[in-house]
Chains A and B, each alone.
Chain A
Amino acid sequence: MSLRIVVCVKYVPDATGDRRFTEDLVTDRESVDGLLSELDEYAVEQALQIAGSADDAEVTVVTMGPADATDALRKALSMGADKAVHVEDDDLVGTDAPGTSLVLARAIEKTGYDLVVCGMASTDGTMGVLPAMLAERLGVPQVTLLSEVSVADGLVTGRRDGDTASEQLQAALPAVVSVTDQSGEARYPSFKGIMAAKKKPVETLDLEDLEIDAAEAGLEGAWTTVEEAVERPARTKGEVVEDEGEGEGAKQLAGFLADRKFI
């Protein structure tokens, strides 16, 4: 039987761009170019490796996001995923984490899955909560923040490196997994892969297809509200000295640290 793997990928504003908020205090997804969240490339990579070691597997990438989010799907398809699902609806603007998890859970159930693979966090919101929420909503085990993962005989195993300990985890499929940026470099799409991706199917779903009421999503349906977003004043550049050798630079730095009472 085929192993059905669903990878959740997010289309995010480029971190090296000048990211801001809109007037409604939601992430501005227009003024800065978007891309496939780098942390989700690791998820695609691990999904492809797991698929590669299975007898028969199919990898579907799912995103919830604006029209341009197809770019993120195409990138994942060009890396080697088989097909894609794009959840897109005007009523989704401003959806918070619980709302996103509801939408993605429905889309994943509709697609059919044995394994869901997520990144460790999205590079824009950086909450790192979606995988746990998905597991809760889908009612399956969560095997998250893995630096190493494998699937065999209907079991997921992996290593989770925490603050105080490193843990070896195990759960039965179906399950939700998330992988860290320590899980192994993601592959680059090949030219062949990029060409092939153009022909791979991308299914588009809206809230109605998922039987979700518009009031449960979007800014209206959000369970949190941002009241204020203030740009932090840029740090003012202090004194920068050239080390003249003979320990001069070190002396000047020590002098600064002493002035500030650090020594």
Chain B
Amino acid sequence: MAEVLVHVDHVDGAVRKPTLELLTLARRLGDPVAVFLGAGADTAAPVLAEYGAVRVLTADAPEFADYLVVPKVDALQAAVSLVSPAAVLVPSSAEGKEIAARLAVRLGSGIITDAVDVTAGDEGPVATQSAFAASFTTRSRVTRGTPVITVKPNSAAPEAAPAAGTVEPLAVTFGALATGTRVTARTARESTGRPELTEAAIVVSGGRGLNGAENFPLIEALADSLGAAVGASRAAVDAGWYPHSAQVGQTGKTVSPQLYIAVGISGAIQHRAGMQTSKTIVAVNKDEEAPIFELVDFGVVGDLFEVVPALTEEIKARKA
């Protein structure tokens, strides 16, 4: 059976969930071969094997952490030469898309980004994507070279399927461009203790209606009562009320949770682009004309400063 390369996204060997989703999708196309770059392969390999990796190609070198993107492209290119895969799957993170972009140009291959599903087709993998702020769903295929496909988080439920996961060192020769862009400092983002925005089953987002950073604890309390992640509109982020990493929308994260609660958010097209494929949508807004209400399964027209604290209490009471 053909092999399919999966680029592993990890933090010091802790494999991030989207990679497990990719391994799950890769099994539809062939035998997954994981490419693990950087330190921590010992921790990662058993996990990758459990989710179906027949082989785990590993390479570790300071270049992977000290320089931007290109060293990883060099490594993936080496893996492609070694394996001649039927496709290369890469998580759709900012870095993942850039790695995929350069790899595609090098291989002379077509590239599909931000797939939300991948299936096997007669003429190669078929990728499902959302277009135009999720108002269209498209199905596309790569027609030249080795298909390079980046896949969004939450595109499949990770399913364990134990395989050999044989660890094999990957020989990588870095090209002249590998050391072009130096990472001179790195500050890790502090964990909030809440679920990852793109992976959460429930997301509660606040917008300009919150009227100040000092009111975001209202959103956090509601989120915590539901075990949810916290999101924000760009207006709230631009005002400095919440970090950009929490922004939902076209220039932030795309989320597709079971439940999305929009609080004090009008529902501009760029915000909808990041949340309108959520299964259930709920909104609280004092303006009954707000476009967000066009999307909701349930909406409350009212003052968030009254509705949200009362809702949090009600949820806690019901859960108690």
Q: Is B84 an interface residue (CB 8 A)?
A: no
Beta-carbon nearest neighbor of B270 in chain A = A15
Q: Is A226 an interface residue (CB 8 A)?
A: yes
Given known A98-B104, A240-B288, A250-B311, contact A39–B186 (CB-CB < 8 A): no
Q: Is the CB of B251 within 8 A of A262?
A: no
Question: Is A63's beta carbon under 8 Å from chain B?
Answer: no
Interchain CB contact (< 8 A) of A133 among B101, B141, B180, B295: B101
B114, B189, B258, B300 — which one has the most chain A CB atoms within 10 A of its CB? B300
B300 touching A241 by the CB < 8 A rule? yes
Q: Which residues of B contact A (CB under 8 A)?
A: 11, 68-70, 73, 93-95, 97-102, 104-106, 108-114, 126, 130-145, 177, 180-189, 202, 226, 234, 244-245, 250-251, 258-259, 269-270, 276, 280-282, 284, 288, 293-303, 306-308, 310-311, 313-315, 318-319
Q: Are the CB atoms of A133 and B102 closer together than 8 Å?
A: yes
Task: Select which of A39, A254, A262 is within 8 A of B258 by beta carbon.
Answer: A262
Least CB separation from A168: chain B residue = B185
Q: Report Cα–Cα, A118/B48, bound state, in Å.
A: 36
A39–B234 alpha-carbon span in the complex (Å): 14
Q: Give the contacting residue for B101; candidates A25, A129, A223, A232; CB below 8 A.
A: A129
| Interface check A22, CB cutoff 8 A | no
- Given known A132-B102, A140-B180, A229-B131, contact A243–B113 (CB-CB < 8 A): no
Task: Enumerate A107-156 residues with CB–CB distance to B below 8 Å.
Answer: 120-121, 123-124, 126-133, 135-137, 139-145, 147
A214 within 8 A of B: no
* Contacts A224-B141, A242-B302 known; 12 new A-B pairs at CB < 8 A: A39-B251, A129-B100, A132-B97, A142-B68, A143-B181, A144-B98, A171-B182, A223-B111, A223-B145, A232-B136, A242-B300, A260-B280
Give Cα distance in the complex from A19 to B270, angstroms.
13
A23 CB within 8 Å of chain B: no
Q: Is the CB of A225 within 8 A of B140?
A: yes
| A-B residue pairs in contact (CB < 8 Å), sample of 5 | A136-B177, A141-B177, A168-B186, A224-B112, A232-B135
Determine whether the beta carbon of A171 is less than 8 Å from that of B282.
no
- Contact A229–B298 (Cβ < 8 Å): no
Contact B298 A238 (CB under 8 A): yes
A237: B residues at CB distance < 8 A: 293-296
Known contacts A249-B307, A254-B318, A257-B315, A166 near B251 by CB under 8 Å: no
* B111 close to A262 (CB less than 8 A): no
Q: Which 9 A-B pairs have the closest CB atoms?
A: A243-B302, A223-B110, A141-B180, A250-B310, A129-B101, A240-B299, A238-B297, A168-B185, A132-B98
Min CB–CB distance B273 → chain A (angstroms)? 8
Closest to B301 in A: A242
The answer to whether B299 and A228 have CB atoms under 8 Å apart is no
Q: Which residues on the B side are within 8 Å of A252 (C-beta)?
A: 300
- A169 B110 Cβ-Cβ under 8 A: no
Question: Is there contact, CB below 8 Å, between B307 and A253?
Answer: yes
Q: Using Cβ atoms and an 8 Å threshold, which residues of chain B touch A127?
A: 97, 113-114
Q: Which residue of B lies closest to A99 (CB)?
A: B110
Bound: A234/B269 CA distance, A: 14
Interface string of A13-29 (1 = CB under 8 A from B): 00110011100010000
- Contact present for B131 and A168 (CB under 8 Å): no
Contact A142 B181 (CB under 8 A): yes
Query: What A residues does B180 contact at CB under 8 A?
Result: 140-142, 171-172, 175
Whether the pair A136, B140 counts as a contact (CB closer than 8 A) is no
Per-residue contact bits, chain A 211-242, to B (CB 8 Å; 1 contact, 0 not) = 00000000000111111111110110111111
Contacts of A232 in B (CB 8 A): 130, 134-137
**Is there contact, CB below 8 Å, between A245 and B306?**
yes
Q: Which residues of A contact B130 (CB under 8 A)?
A: 232
A82-99 interface bits toward B, Cβ cutoff 8 Å, 1 = contact, 0 = none: 000000000000001110
Nearest chain-B residue to A221 (Cβ)?
B144
With a cutoff of 8 Å between Cβ atoms, the chain B residues found around residue A121 in the complex are 251
Interface residue? A167 (CB, 8 A): yes
Question: Quick one: closest B residue to A261, CB to CB?
Answer: B258
Q: Which residue of chain B is the closest to A163 with respect to CB atoms?
A: B93
Indicate if the CB atoms of B138 and A253 lie closer than 8 Å. Answer: no
Task: From B135, B141, B315, give the contact of A227 (CB < 8 A).
Answer: B141
A166 to B189, CA, bound (A): 7
Residues of A within 8 A of B138 (CB): 21, 25, 226, 228-230
